[in-house]
Structure 1
Amino acid sequence: MSQKNLHRLFNPRHIAVIGASAQPGKIGNTLLKNLAAAGFSGTLLPVNPKYSTINGLTCLPSVSDLEMGVDLAIIATPINSVVDIVSECVERKVGSAIIVSTGGKEVGEEGREIENTILQVARRGHLRIVGPNCMGIIRPGVHLNASFATEMPELGNMAFVSQSGAICSAILDLALKEHIGFSHFVSIGSMLDVNMGDMIDFLGNDPQVKSILLYMESLSNFRKFMSAARSVSRIKPIIVLKSGRSAAGARASSSHTGAMAGEDAVYDAAFKRAGIVRVDTIEELFDCAELMAKQPLPRGSRLAILTNSGGPGVMATDTLAHFGHEPAILDTATIHDLDTFLPSFWSRSNPIDILGDATPERFGKALEICLGSKNIDGILVILTPQVMTKPIAVAKMVVTAIKGHRHPIFACWMGGKAIWQSLQILNSAGIPTYETPERAVRAFLYMVEYSRGLELLLEIPPKRIPFMAFDQAKAQKLITAIPTGGVASEMDSNAILAAYGFPVMSTKVATTEAKAIDIARELGYPLVMKLSSPDITYKTDVGGVQLDLRCDTDVSEAYSHIMASANRHQPDARLAGVMIQPYVARPDYEILLGARRDANFGPIILFGMGGIYTEVLHDRALGLPPMNRLLARRLMQETKAFTLLQGYRNRPNADLEQLEEMITRLSQLLIDFPEIAELDMNPVLIKDGNAIVANSRILISPVRVASPLHLVIAPYPDEDESHIISTGGRRILVRPVKPEDAHLIVDLFNVLSPKTIYHRFFGHIKELQPEMLVRFTQIDYDREVALVAMDEDADTDTILGVARIIGDADGKTGEFAVLVGDAWQGEGIGAKLLGNCLKVAEKQGFKTVFGIALQENRGMSALGRKLGFEIQHSSNAGEYELTIQLGGNQTVSND
């Protein structure tokens, strides 16, 4: 549904209040009064058959009496009446609605059915709905209080969206007390229609919004949420407070991976992948958002603590240490400069204690020196009122000192009435203030976390990508043979993994003691013997593993012991014999690599410490497929095991590139087979740097959707690859853009003529900045089409041209761009590329594609006419616009 109707929701000119009342205390009365009291300048239309006028406004008897095209209807009637009201709204072409009514899905199946009917009716008329069961929306900047909250918060640049009306009330009260301002304040309720993904897209495109705050209890449309968040978090911070961190919310599971990948941990992984900062309290939500909205991002975590009291400085330092950070180390030059004017007994370290008799001038000069240091990424100024302290003068000095600097500066003025005026001065200058050092430092570290996350989002993967082969057909045959809801035998699990290129331990099965001895002699000693049973997951727990078998006698005794022990611990378990493998003596490391299918986020990859201590040490990290080598390396870096894997004391380092490859292979396996519910490779043994899977387990269960719809992040679309021949006879592979193409895009840019660069970028640029490269190569395949033309006859990978269609948040309209290197122009490559892009866009549901070109770019107009674009003069002088409609009877041709 269209984002344009969301614009009507938040910028209405005509509002109907359905269920308006003249009776004080009724919600319909409060809504109408709040709209008027906020100073709404548009038209208010109360609707209720019981009244002819309310508060001096003419009251209409029914929705059918409304004029056509009302922007917003606020519905405050019993839920049972809402279906008919929404139907009438659709007939009158109302653009949006806020349903404050309760009694929907939160009360049970009957309410859920009512909500479903409301949604079906609304979709027929593209009516956007906020709610039900919500407070409404507030926009101070346009004097809109379309809610039953009686007071309007101040204007600010933070947008707040909450699922909980109670949380909204509490936060509004806090905001009024603390003078916190908002651009948008949205109680989203049950999210029948408008959801968190819609709001992120809408707010992300609003220049008045500098940061987005979310209070979340659950999500709907997880894929849309991830797509929107990954797009918007690159340009403005998204901070979320999600309830439900407790272990009680985790799902039961039968594997190590499932037990360690609880629901809340999956949300953490998803937020991290999307570049979202997660906080733990309402207090942190606003502390963090205020700092991000007012101050530039830090380059790192090196914080200088400038204080006139030692105690608060220590408190700030302790908070840094608690979260694994240290204060910035002062360089010799900085200490020397401070020595020139500070008393001889100042701290001469960070925290910089400039002593209790510090004057405003001493504060200002010390701050200026810190601002000039290259070893400092942010500055916390702490003031405690003392006999000689002048809080107002110090505040003014701080405001003066920071002008022209790009360090994040924030303040902790400790005290009450004595510091109130100075806080006003700091806040008016855009300097966030905090009541305690701990809150200030925690807000800064969240800012560092966002900055680091943004840095990771903009990181370019390594150029080298070794080809990885997969035998999908073999894996498919093996998986199909596994009963639905069943566990693959370890032999089958190993075979599936081997089909996808995993290094799997050679394993043979023996069903008798004699057969075990024969296999042992064939493999050679030493060996490992493990129980084979479809009913026993944890073999070690039942004495089902015997190590370091060195002779026939050892094998005979081990077989007898395993069978007897299994029968004793689990008498009704099916015993299929034993598995025999080579024994890896004293491996350097043991890791776990696994996956679990989450009901909401789809497959989740887990990496961590393996072996028998997996769940005891609980050292693990979670990631979402699709994953490339860069994401695989980041996943490993989140664990303590990563430090060991780089080599520890006399142990050699693991082959980290091999582990990256194993993670990316697992990602592809999960992409190809949604029916994999759980997968364990535990342990993966690492000896002399090399990894080998010693034990594996795969659980298969039914799925509702086919690949790739089971993923919350769209994977690389292999189906969009094609082979073409240029008019010059050149063999070309057309394929979607990959993140690893960044280096090849640079190579293409470096051979472009200044004229071609000017035509493509509408200006002269000398190089592609990292941010541009990331934008060009890290594609959200759900909302963008981007294809490259690769020369199949070249000795090295060479991109000849690029075409893309960047979609809006609805995925209905997109803007195209196309670029071909000068040496290959005139061979029809641009037309082939853009033609293929249009076909993919049409398949994805795009309706309109347009582009802007300079009038002097005659080649683009010729290409446009060839593909069927309509060409018109643009409203901007010197430009023309090309437009094509997709779908219906329109056929895209690139012949």
Structure 2
Amino acid sequence: MGQHNLDRIIRPQRLAVIGASEKSGTIGNVLMKNLIDAGFPGLVLPVNPKYQEILGCRTYKSVSDLDVGVDLAIIATPIQTVPEIIQECISRKVGGAIVISAGGKEAGVSGNEIEHKIRRVIAHTGFRIIGPNCLGIIQPSGRLNATFISGMPPQGNMALVSQSGAICSSILDLAFKEQIGFSNFISIGSMLDVDFGDMIDYLGNDNSVKSILLYIENLTNFRKFMSAARSVSRVKPIIVLKAGRSKAGAKAAASHTGAMVGEDAVYDAAFKRAGIVRVDTIEELFDCAELMAKQPRPHGPRLGIITNGGGPGVMAADYLASLGHEPAVLDAEIVSKLDAVLPPYWSRNNPIDILGDASAERFRQVLDICLDERTFDGVLVILAPQAMTEPMTVAKALVAAMHGHQYPIFASWMGGKSVDQAVEFLNESAIPTFDTPERAVRAFLYMVSFARNQELLLEAPPKVSRDMVFDNTTAKHIFASSTAKGFLPESKVWQLLAAYGLPVVQTVVATSEEQASQVSSDIGYPVVLKLFSPDITHKTDAGGVHLDLRSDLDVRKAYQLTMSSARQYRPEARIEGVTIQPYLANPDFEILLGAKRDPDFGPVILFGMGGIFTEILQDKALGLPPMNRLLAQRLIQETRAYKLLQGFRNHPPADFEKLEEIIICLSQLLIDFPQISELDMNPIMIKNGKPTVADARLLVSPIDVISPLHLVISPYPGEKIFRMTTESGLHLVIRPVKPEDAPLFTNLFEVLSPTSIYYRFFGALRMLQPAMLSRFTQIDYDREIAYVALDEDSETELMLGVARIIGDPDGTTGEIAVLVGDPWQGKGIGASLMRQCLLVAQQRGFAHIHGIVMKENTQMLALAKKLGFAISTGKNGSEYEIEINFNSPDMIEGLTAF
């Protein structure tokens, strides 16, 4: 109901304006005028007891007087009246409302109470609300201007969703000036109900929307936002301007990790994980909006720069280099072609300086050559006003040359009045224009970032080469036997890390000088002696770390010095002794791996340079669990430490697979134990490639949610794995699909007959493309159910079949599909997979499941009937529709008994 009623808000046929007015200058009057002036083709029903007619429209005294089934109510009355009005709307079966009224939570306690009252009114009704405190929405294709902003932007394929009305107004002005088309303009306001996650889901399923712009001040349902964004960003770009970069994070951090994980850095990590491109300024948002609206996406960063002025070309190249890229290299063939049309003293390089006396014809010849080559992923044309160059003529040459090319072409016509007419012509001709070369380059590279995001989203993660075993029982006992808040005793931290497969250095606690002496002798010199105190976090600051102790005398002196220094540093601290470890001399590298629980995004993993320079160098990268090897690789590669870890001089490279594994181990620990507030492993010493955790501290604090609800990304449901034997004697492992399963899918596809492929994909298919493999394996476990059947008796992993239910964003309905390899059909595998998917869907609260089956697929039809599906003729005469209703007692009984 949620998404359906959202469609009734954005594409209404009948709408009511509650608070409509004849009084000029009032919001109620402007709303009515804008609806009429825009040419809205549906019914406009003003509601106000003071009038009988407003702007020629019959007026209703109250919502109760309206006919049942109005799609949208636009409410522009005082906020105190809104709860009662919405209750009336629900009674009259109105689909949803846009609440223009201000005075909600932004007004303080009283406004908060009103919003809570509204939430109680709409709870469990399916009624949706955009706002309050919003401008409303504009939908150009439907001639709908349900805002108090005059004017209608050109129709296009880009949607804007903004919390700020001022941003909406500014972009609307830009749209008029630059001739930028939009599919939707949505002012979302304070998000009492409909939030960014809802809008991303809705716009992601709208075929008329090709890209989405978001202006975000804050998020509400973080997990829903991440789920929607990860789903939609695979198929269309999402560009975000998130306000508030300057907010301080981790003010009371207890560890290096805590100090380095600030609020805005976590947003960066979350956006990156979701495939979102983040811009920094309103100017950049405008520039991205224009480039996305008018041009195709680039496939890479190879930029060609054509200029009639050497200086602007150098400016563009310099700015490109400052952002980590170089202009595309010209090969001999293209240089030869350019030699034929350019003066002998042209730059013979990229930027292609065609000189200040360049005519429109010279521009056109160079453009034709460049656009016919595959050397570039985009072309920037820069025109500087010159006596020999007429801006409008060159603009017309550019427009004439661009037709039929599949990569972005954009322009920087530099200057003032002399280029205004040409710039307007370019805008009208769908050529993005930028005041400076730098702005043009920056907008292009943001689009390159989106292309790179999509590429990474489609990449299949490699498998780990060893089984990763986690001792959850021991870990639970450690947490249960410790206090609910504060630092976990150091000895227990070492036990915990070891239980989760992290390579820890041997560590023994000594509570006296004599014991320290004996332990050091047992371990073998040289050793490290460290202060053991639950109250002193940074041992070095307290004089509590002594390295490379080579004798009993060294150990005794270090023990005495540690005790006196610690007591002097913090007299009230509990001093419980020291820890003794073997000394890892001259490590090749020192890194930091840690985690912090963010109040909004849950646990965040930090990787970076370790040791004493951690906070000085601030070399870090952040990631969100769950992690796999591919995500761990990216985390490492984002740091400057990555180049060092590849080895140099006499330092061998780190074992990257081992580093990836310990990141995955840490991820699983954070998934299983929400009470971990901060975890710091610093340093992790790398010697001869192998990492060892040399020091660690862990802070615990209470949390009111259980695993995995503390995460913003649903983890792999490992508890859903089970084994069974089919009636035909096959021993199966039935488990949820994993991202690492891509090779198994490819192998399964290779044993399918053309008939099986046709039944599953409704057409011929020669191979599974990367995008399809990614779609099948890298799923969101919150909104999709997918199980694979593996042959337990096979020496190597062998996938026999797969079934999935793709749920709608509301989680109420889903579409089912099943596929079994030809050698194993008719052996009960498809039935086992479908039954498991249906049982999980029932547990999650799905209302009904449907699917489409070809008429010739008699096996599937028989199975559907056996499982309780109703079968009917589809819209296309060559197929059947199958549907199952979870509210049917017969269905539940049949499914459970099967």
TM-score normalised per structure 2: 0.98
Compare 882-891 and 573-582 and name the one that shifted more: 882-891
User: What residue is the counterpart of 1:715 in the other structure?
Assistant: 715
Paired positions, count: 895
User: What residue is the counterpart of 1:22 in the other structure?
Assistant: 22
Q: Is the 8 A contact 2:233 2:274 kept in 1?
A: yes
User: What residue is the counterpart of 2:394 in the other structure?
Assistant: 394
User: What residue is the counterpart of 1:488 in the other structure?
Assistant: 488
CA distance in 1, matches of 2:573, 2:772: 59
Q: Is 1:259–2:238 an aligned residue pair?
A: no
CA distances 1:131-173 after superposition (whole Å, capped 9, x unpaired): 1111111112211111111232232221111111222233323
User: What residue is the counterpart of 1:160 in the other structure?
Assistant: 160
Kindly provide the amino acid, as one letter, of the partner of residue 470 in structure 1.
Answer: F
CA distance in 2, matches of 1:553, 1:38: 89
CA distances 1:729-767 after superposition (whole Å, capped 9, x unpaired): 111011000011000010011011111111111111111
Q: Is 1:204–2:185 an aligned residue pair?
A: no
Q: Is the 8 A contact 1:490 1:695 kept in 2?
A: no
Q: Using the TM superposition, give the Cα deviation of residue 893 of structure 1 relative to its aligned residue in structure 2, in angstroms.
A: 4.2
User: What residue is the counterpart of 1:44 in the other structure?
Assistant: 44
User: What residue is the counterpart of 1:128 in the other structure?
Assistant: 128
Residues 466-865 of structure 1 aligned to structure 2 (within 5 Å): 466-865=466-865
Q: Is 1:430–2:430 an aligned residue pair?
A: yes
User: What residue is the counterpart of 1:100 in the other structure?
Assistant: 100
User: What residue is the counterpart of 1:68 in the other structure?
Assistant: 68
User: What residue is the counterpart of 2:357 in the other structure?
Assistant: 357
CA distances 1:814-840 after superposition (whole Å, capped 9, x unpaired): 111101111111111111111111111
CA distance in 2, matches of 1:166, 1:308: 38
Q: Using the TM superposition, give the Cα deviation of residue 434 of structure 1 relative to its aligned residue in structure 2, in angstroms.
A: 1.1
User: What residue is the counterpart of 1:874 in the other structure?
Assistant: 874
User: What residue is the counterpart of 1:57 in the other structure?
Assistant: 57
Identity %: 62
Q: Using the TM superposition, give the Cα deviation of residue 377 of structure 1 relative to its aligned residue in structure 2, in angstroms.
A: 2.1
Residues 190-229 of structure 1 aligned to structure 2 (within 5 Å): 190-229=190-229
| CA distance 1:676–1:642, shift in 2 (3 Å) | same
Q: Using the TM superposition, give the Cα deviation of residue 665 of structure 1 relative to its aligned residue in structure 2, in angstroms.
A: 0.6
CA distance in 2, matches of 1:178, 1:249: 38
User: What residue is the counterpart of 2:271 in the other structure?
Assistant: 271
Q: Using the TM superposition, give the Cα deviation of residue 643 of structure 1 relative to its aligned residue in structure 2, in angstroms.
A: 0.7
What SS does the aligned partner of 1:379 have? strand
CA distances 1:509-558 after superposition (whole Å, capped 9, x unpaired): 11111111111111111111111111111111121111110111111111
Q: Is the 8 A contact 1:866 1:894 kept in 2?
A: no
CA distance in 1, matches of 2:543, 2:859: 75
CA distance in 2, matches of 1:601, 1:570: 35
Q: Is the 8 A contact 1:482 1:700 kept in 2?
A: no
Q: Is the 8 A contact 1:368 1:401 kept in 2?
A: yes
Q: Using the TM superposition, give the Cα deviation of residue 585 of structure 1 relative to its aligned residue in structure 2, in angstroms.
A: 1.1
CA distances 1:821-867 after superposition (whole Å, capped 9, x unpaired): 11111111111111111111111221111111111111111111110
CA RMSD of aligned residues (A): 1.4
Q: Is the 8 A contact 1:76 1:100 kept in 2?
A: yes
CA distances 1:471-496 after superposition (whole Å, capped 9, x unpaired): 00001100122211111112111110
| CA distance 1:250–1:182, shift in 2 (3 Å) | farther
Kindly provide the amino acid, as one letter, of the partner of residue 140 in structure 2.
Answer: P
CA distances 1:248-288 after superposition (whole Å, capped 9, x unpaired): 25553111111111000000000000000000111111211
Compare 604-613 and 41-50 and name the one that shifted more: 41-50
User: What residue is the counterpart of 2:404 in the other structure?
Assistant: 404
Kindly provide the amino acid, as one letter, of the partner of residue 637 in structure 1.
Answer: Q
Kindly provide the amino acid, as one letter, of the partner of residue 881 in structure 2.
Answer: E
CA distance in 1, matches of 2:157, 2:748: 40
Residues 232-311 of structure 1 aligned to structure 2 (within 5 Å): 232-311=232-311
Q: Using the TM superposition, give the Cα deviation of residue 888 of structure 1 relative to its aligned residue in structure 2, in angstroms.
A: 5.9
Q: Using the TM superposition, give the Cα deviation of residue 583 of structure 1 relative to its aligned residue in structure 2, in angstroms.
A: 0.6
Compare 284-293 and 66-75 and name the one that shifted more: 284-293
Q: Using the TM superposition, give the Cα deviation of residue 613 of structure 1 relative to its aligned residue in structure 2, in angstroms.
A: 0.8
CA distance in 2, matches of 1:228, 1:726: 37
Q: Using the TM superposition, give the Cα deviation of residue 463 of structure 1 relative to its aligned residue in structure 2, in angstroms.
A: 4.7
Q: Using the TM superposition, give the Cα deviation of residue 124 of structure 1 relative to its aligned residue in structure 2, in angstroms.
A: 4.2
CA distance in 1, matches of 2:370, 2:170: 39
Q: Using the TM superposition, give the Cα deviation of residue 464 of structure 1 relative to its aligned residue in structure 2, in angstroms.
A: 5.2
What SS does the aligned partner of 1:469 have? coil
What SS does the aligned partner of 1:150 have? coil
CA distances 1:300-319 after superposition (whole Å, capped 9, x unpaired): 21211110001111111121
Kindly provide the amino acid, as one letter, of the partner of residue 68 in structure 2.
Answer: M
CA distance in 2, matches of 1:837, 1:894: 15
Q: Using the TM superposition, give the Cα deviation of residue 796 of structure 1 relative to its aligned residue in structure 2, in angstroms.
A: 1.0
Q: Is the 8 A contact 1:867 1:893 kept in 2?
A: no
User: What residue is the counterpart of 2:110 in the other structure?
Assistant: 110
Kindly provide the amino acid, as one letter, of the partner of residue 138 in structure 2.
Answer: I
Q: Using the TM superposition, give the Cα deviation of residue 894 of structure 1 relative to its aligned residue in structure 2, in angstroms.
A: 6.9
CA distances 1:73-108 after superposition (whole Å, capped 9, x unpaired): 111111111111111111011101011111111122
Q: Is the 8 A contact 1:816 1:850 kept in 2?
A: yes
Q: Using the TM superposition, give the Cα deviation of residue 339 of structure 1 relative to its aligned residue in structure 2, in angstroms.
A: 1.6
CA distance in 1, matches of 2:826, 2:352: 66
Kindly provide the amino acid, as one letter, of the partner of residue 352 in structure 1.
Answer: I
CA distance in 2, matches of 1:75, 1:709: 35
Q: Is the 8 A contact 1:12 1:71 kept in 2?
A: yes
CA distances 1:400-445 after superposition (whole Å, capped 9, x unpaired): 3333332321111112333334334433443211111010000011
Compare 618-627 and 373-382 and name the one that shifted more: 373-382
User: What residue is the counterpart of 1:186 in the other structure?
Assistant: 186
Unmatched runs of 5 consecutive residues or more in structure 1: none
Q: Is the 8 A contact 1:849 1:884 kept in 2?
A: yes
Compare 592-601 and 713-722 and name the one that shifted more: 713-722
CA distance in 2, matches of 1:159, 1:664: 37
What SS does the aligned partner of 2:487 have? coil
What SS does the aligned partner of 1:664 have? helix
| CA distance 1:780–1:665, shift in 2 (3 Å) | same
Compare 346-355 and 409-418 and name the one that shifted more: 409-418
What SS does the aligned partner of 1:60 have? coil
CA distance in 1, matches of 2:409, 2:699: 52
What SS does the aligned partner of 1:546 have? strand
What SS does the aligned partner of 2:548 have? strand
CA distance in 1, matches of 2:585, 2:97: 68
Unmatched runs of 5 consecutive residues or more in structure 2: none
CA distance in 1, matches of 2:796, 2:426: 58
CA distance in 1, matches of 2:249, 2:90: 40
| CA distance 1:175–1:289, shift in 2 (3 Å) | closer
Q: Using the TM superposition, give the Cα deviation of residue 371 of structure 1 relative to its aligned residue in structure 2, in angstroms.
A: 2.8
| CA distance 1:649–1:375, shift in 2 (3 Å) | farther
Q: Using the TM superposition, give the Cα deviation of residue 113 of structure 1 relative to its aligned residue in structure 2, in angstroms.
A: 1.9
Compare 172-181 and 262-271 and name the one that shifted more: 172-181
CA distance in 1, matches of 2:174, 2:335: 41
Kindly provide the amino acid, as one letter, of the partner of residue 817 in structure 1.
Answer: A
Q: Is the 8 A contact 2:17 2:76 kept in 1?
A: yes
CA distance in 1, matches of 2:594, 2:250: 17
CA distance in 1, matches of 2:394, 2:426: 10
Kindly provide the amino acid, as one letter, of the partner of residue 55 in structure 1.
Answer: L
Q: Using the TM superposition, give the Cα deviation of residue 297 of structure 1 relative to its aligned residue in structure 2, in angstroms.
A: 2.5
| CA distance 1:229–1:15, shift in 2 (3 Å) | same
What SS does the aligned partner of 1:419 have? helix
CA distance in 2, matches of 1:466, 1:504: 18
CA distance in 1, matches of 2:870, 2:369: 61
Q: Using the TM superposition, give the Cα deviation of residue 122 of structure 1 relative to its aligned residue in structure 2, in angstroms.
A: 1.6
Compare 178-187 and 90-99 and name the one that shifted more: 178-187
| CA distance 1:747–1:578, shift in 2 (3 Å) | same
CA distance in 2, matches of 1:423, 1:481: 71
Kindly provide the amino acid, as one letter, of the partner of residue 403 in structure 2.
Answer: K
User: What residue is the counterpart of 2:329 in the other structure?
Assistant: 329
What SS does the aligned partner of 2:627 have? coil
Compare 460-469 and 508-517 and name the one that shifted more: 460-469
Q: Is the 8 A contact 2:215 2:240 kept in 1?
A: yes
CA distance in 1, matches of 2:429, 2:371: 17
